[in-house]
């Protein structure tokens, strides 16, 4: 037995082998060690994913890290123990670097095999482990335990001490971090970008509608003519949007047309535009955080920005709606505004007012944040008096130019005296003018208002002037800007729009979603208050205003969840400060590299993306019909389902509300319905027709001039549920009345009918 054991050991003795023999021996021993590490890796991953419901990519990362620790211990203890020449810290550093590269390779391969090849999570681990094993063995043997490389590596490792590492991290350029984050975003959303490029698909109704608006502009439609004539023809629908976002989109598309056809130039624009805005947002978040807290890390700010969910929401490939520009303008305006609170930097109030004006010209969704900022400026004037004179004066000077200029640039002269509650109009310009002139007067007379009581009275007069302007011109605009929406449309359409849903409405079915969307905002609010208490002077005032902005954002998000995408970048700034402070406190005795890793872990723990990955997913329960409906509807919106309609002569199409923008974008037809509150007339035609019995529906559609009717197969929408005897319910059952003629352009997902000529 002893002789047999000696023979076995001699077979594994690398000192008795030649070059190739040593490689084989190392490969065998490393393979055995890797099998143990793989068992730990895969077991941990499957347990976390299957038993605890952790996202498979997060579970794979945790399993991979545990396997990395085991394979290091086995490698230095049994595999390469006789050729160790480096210090343990250098070996660990080398294993960590190769391990991180292997981890990246592991995640890419897992994502590829699961999402693109279609393998199960467990099966995908097999080829992934093979590729990663070969990489790890080759890299570690050559870089850490090779006779040729060990001397060179030892010199390099000695030079890379922790102080140099810290210095290098501090000197690493912000643009480099932003570029890496943008590259990560490209990788994460690659499948969606590929679909945009290959098919031209739109993932949101607003993106499709924006593309239609830009196409009309490039086709020669007047700058101020915001009517989409194919929308509820022949009257058309005048949009509450403006041309501000159309300008960069049209410019990019004209540039790409220099070397691409018009269709692919638009698709290239839809890919570049959101990516450029994402990079801008990440850079702004680093700038915003750094000037609020100079000790904070700009790189951590970019990381938290990436993990904030922006890449999955408003900045995804194909997203050309106004929400992403609004988020960027909000952060820019708040940053310049806070900087301008310091009398030495009061000029920053001018770009702050310009960013506000551009934002309001795009849409009014940022008005609550701007109201908080301007109210804060007025309150600081009451408290600080003449010390705020320069800040208030510079804001007034910038606003008196920016607000009227943006109004004149986006509102047609014929509409100057008209007031609309849902878009920049006369009532808003009047209120802004009253407030701005009031600020200018306060700045001018600040020396004559030495007491807090006098300043408070003066501010109250300005506030009263603003309220009076609104009350005199359009008092209805004090309430809901969508107050003019038809009640039936509000019930059947708006109440089902996810982004317009109150946050707590998700609690019963998806409580984890409430946590993911709201927890980081609450934590950011608390962190901002902590910083406000700790700081003094102008820094304290800035942090209080940040907390106020986060607070109003959270309150607005309780009304409509879409506001969380706007307030999240603001909430990330105090979270960056908190994360860095906690990492330094916990890891005070650790190396800078360890503290950096700890900060990264904390970023994941407090970020929306990290929370979404860690928290268990909701069960795919009883509501299978809803899942089927969503799948069928998404198939109905694909270009492949809609483009055959271009074989028909241009017609007026009656289709469900969500189909409208996609029909406008992918076909030459006109539509009655679309998910926009200004289309009460066209939407009611379709809603009334689908709810009415087939005979009455025929009369409604003929009177409106409808020529084609579309129905998404197996649609179980409110049309069918609300009126079981209506036209919508009949079409859902596959029972088309005689006055509808099925057309060959019908697809499995989308049913197409022509309205037969009346006999």
**CB 653, CB 671: distance < 8 Å:** yes
CA distance 750 to 481: 35
**438: Cβ–Cβ under 8 A, 6 or more apart, which residues?**
461, 462, 465, 466
Nearest to 128 by CA among 68, 182, 60, 181: 60
The residues pairing with 708 across neighbouring beta strands, listed in sequence order, are 653, 754
Residue-wise pLDDT tens digits, 239-277: 989 999 999 999 999 999 998 899 999 999 999 999 999
Query: In Å, how far are 75, 143, 144, 524 from 95, measured between CA atoms?
Result: 10, 10, 8, 36
Dihedral sign from CA coordinates of 77, 80, 83, 89? negative
Q: Give the count of beta carbons closer than 10 Å to the beta carbon of residue 294.
A: 8
**Averaged over 397-405, what is the pLDDT?**
95
CA distance 604 to 623: 31
pLDDT grade for 304, boundaries at 50, 70 and 90: confident
Token match 């940040």: residue? 546
Residue 327 pLDDT exceeds 60: yes
Residue 160 pLDDT exceeds 50: no
**CB 314, CB 357: distance < 8 Å:** no
**Averaged over 402-414, what is the pLDDT?**
94
pLDDT grade for 94, boundaries at 50, 70 and 90: low
pLDDT grade for 386, boundaries at 50, 70 and 90: confident
**Averaged over 685-692, what is the pLDDT?**
92
Distance from chain centroid for Cα 75: 43
Nearest to 728 by CA among 758, 700, 757: 700
- State the pLDDT at residue 108: 75
Residue-wise pLDDT tens digits, 412-465: 999 999 988 889 999 999 999 999 999 999 999 988 888 999 999 999 999 999
Query: In Å, how far are 79, 137, 156, 158, 167 from 151, measured between CA atoms?
Result: 20, 19, 9, 11, 25
Residue 652 pLDDT exceeds 90: yes
- Paired sense of beta strands 652-654 and 227-228, if any: unpaired
More confident of the two residues 323 and 490: 323
The tally of CA atoms less than 13 A away on the side-chain side of residue 368 is 20
pTM (2 d.p.): 0.79
CA distance 749 to 711: 9
Residue 87 pLDDT exceeds 70: no
Mean pLDDT is lowest, of 96-105, 199-208, 276-285, 571-580, for 96-105
Arch. (CATH architecture) of 627-755: 3-Layer(aba) Sandwich (3.40)
Q: In sequence order, what DSSP letters do the residues of 630-684 get, joined into one string?
A: HHHHHHHTSHHHHGGGGGSPP-EEE--TTHHHHHHHHSS-EES--S-TT-HHHHH
pLDDT grade for 164, boundaries at 50, 70 and 90: very low
- State the pLDDT at residue 622: 39
**143: Cβ–Cβ under 8 A, 6 or more apart, which residues?**
94, 98, 149, 153
Q: Give the count of beta carbons closer than 10 Å to the beta carbon of residue 743.
A: 16
Nearest to 670 by CA among 239, 230, 208: 230
Residue 14 pLDDT exceeds 90: no
Nearest to 440 by CA among 407, 468, 469, 401: 401
- State the pLDDT at residue 483: 67
Residue-wise pLDDT tens digits, 174-193: 788 888 888 888 888 888 99
**CB 749, CB 641: distance < 8 Å:** yes
List, by residue range, all CATH 3.40.50 domains of the chain. Answer: 627-755
Ramachandran assignment for 318, one of left (phi > 0), alpha (psi -120 to 50 degrees), beta (any other) = left
């Amino acid at each position: 037995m002893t002789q047999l054991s000696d023979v076995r050991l001699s077979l594994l003795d690398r000192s008795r082998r030649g070059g190739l023999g040593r490689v084989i021996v190392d490969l065998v021993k490393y393979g055995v060690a890797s099998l143990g590490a793989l068992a730990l890796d895969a077991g941990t991953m499957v347990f976390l994913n299957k038993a605890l419901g952790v996202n498979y990519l997060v579970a794979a990362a945790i399993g991979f890290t545990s396997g990395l620790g085991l394979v290091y211990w086995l490698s230095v203890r049994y595999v390469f123990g006789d050729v160790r020449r480096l210090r343990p810290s250098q070996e660990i550093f080398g294993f960590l670097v190769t391990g991180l590269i292997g981890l990246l390779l592991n995640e890419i391969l897992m994502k590829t095999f699961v999402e693109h090849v279609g393998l199960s999570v467990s099966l995908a681990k097999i080829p992934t482990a093979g590729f990663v094993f070969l990489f790890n063995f080759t890299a570690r043997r050559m870089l850490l335990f090779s006779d040729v490389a060990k001397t060179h590596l030892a010199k390099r490792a000695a030079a890379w001490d922790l102080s140099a590492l810290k210095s290098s991290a501090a000197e690493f350029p912000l643009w480099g971090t932003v570029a890496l984050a943008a590259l990560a975003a490209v990788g994460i959303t690659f499948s969606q970008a590929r679909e945009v490029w290959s098919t031209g698909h739109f993932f949101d109704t607003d993106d499709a509608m924006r593309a239609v608006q830009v196409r009309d502009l490039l086709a020669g439609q007047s700058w101020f003519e915001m009517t989409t004539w194919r929308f509820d023809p022949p009257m058309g629908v005048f949009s509450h949007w403006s041309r501000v976002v159309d300008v960069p989109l049209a410019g990019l598309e004209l540039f790409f047309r220099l070397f691409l056809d018009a269709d692919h130039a638009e698709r290239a624009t839809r890919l570049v535009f959101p990516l450029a805005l994402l990079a801008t947002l990440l850079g702004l978040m680093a700038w915003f955080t750094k000037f609020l807290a100079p000790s904070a890390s700009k790189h951590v700010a970019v990381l938290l920005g990436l993990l904030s969910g922006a890449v999955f929401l408003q900045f995804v490939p194909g997203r050309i709606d106004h929400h992403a520009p609004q988020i960027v303008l909000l952060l820019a305006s708040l940053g310049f505004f806070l900087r301008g609170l310091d009398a030495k930097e009061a000029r920053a109030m001018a770009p702050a007012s310009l960013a506000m004006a551009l934002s309001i010209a795009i849409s009014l969704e940022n008005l609550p944040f701007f109201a908080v900022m301007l109210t804060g400026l007025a309150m600081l004037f009451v408290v600080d008096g003449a010390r705020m004179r320069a800040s208030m004066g510079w804001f007034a000077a910038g606003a008196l130019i920016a607000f009227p200029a943006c109004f004149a640039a986006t509102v047609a002269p014929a509409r100057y005296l008209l007031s609309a509650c849902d878009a920049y109009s006369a009532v808003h310009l009047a209120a802004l003018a009253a407030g701005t002139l009031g600020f200018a007067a306060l700045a001018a007379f600040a020396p004559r208002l030495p007491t807090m009581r006098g300043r408070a009275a003066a501010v109250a007069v300005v506030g009263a002037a603003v309220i009076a302007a609104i009350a005199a011109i359009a008092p209805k605009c004090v309430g809901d800007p969508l107050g003019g929406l038809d009640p039936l449309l509000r019930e059947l359409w708006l109440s089902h729009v996810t982004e317009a849903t109150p946050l707590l409405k998700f609690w019963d079915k998806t409580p984890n979603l409430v946590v993911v969307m709201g927890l980081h905002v609450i934590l950011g609010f608390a962190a901002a208050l902590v910083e406000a208490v700790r700081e003094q002077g102008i820094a304290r005032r800035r942090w209080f205003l940040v907390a106020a902005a986060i607070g109003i954002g959270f309150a607005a998000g309780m009304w409509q969840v879409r506001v969380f995408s706007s307030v999240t970048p603001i909430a990330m700034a105090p979270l960056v400060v908190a994360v860095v402070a906690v990492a330094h406190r916990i890891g005070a005795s650790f190396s800078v590299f360890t503290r950096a890793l700890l900060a990264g872990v904390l970023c994941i723990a407090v970020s929306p993306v990290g929370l979404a990955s860690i928290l268990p997913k909701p069960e795919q329960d009883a509501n299978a019909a809803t899942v089927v409906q969503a799948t069928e509807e998404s198939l109905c919106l694909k270009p492949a389902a809609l483009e055959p309609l271009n074989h028909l002569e241009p017609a007026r199409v009656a289709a469900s509300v969500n189909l409208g923008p996609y029909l406008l974008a992918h076909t030459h037809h006109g539509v009655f319905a679309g998910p926009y509150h200004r289309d009460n007339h066209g939407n009611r035609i379709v809603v009334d027709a689908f709810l009415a019995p087939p005979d009455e529906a025929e009369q409604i559609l003929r009177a409106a001039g409808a020529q084609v009717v579309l129905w998404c197969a197996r649609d179980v929408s409110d049309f069918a549920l609300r009126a079981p005897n209506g036209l919508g319910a009949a079409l859902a059952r596959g029972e088309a009345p005689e006055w509808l003629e099925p057309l060959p352009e019908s697809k499995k997902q989308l049913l197409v009918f022509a309205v037969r000529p009346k006999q």
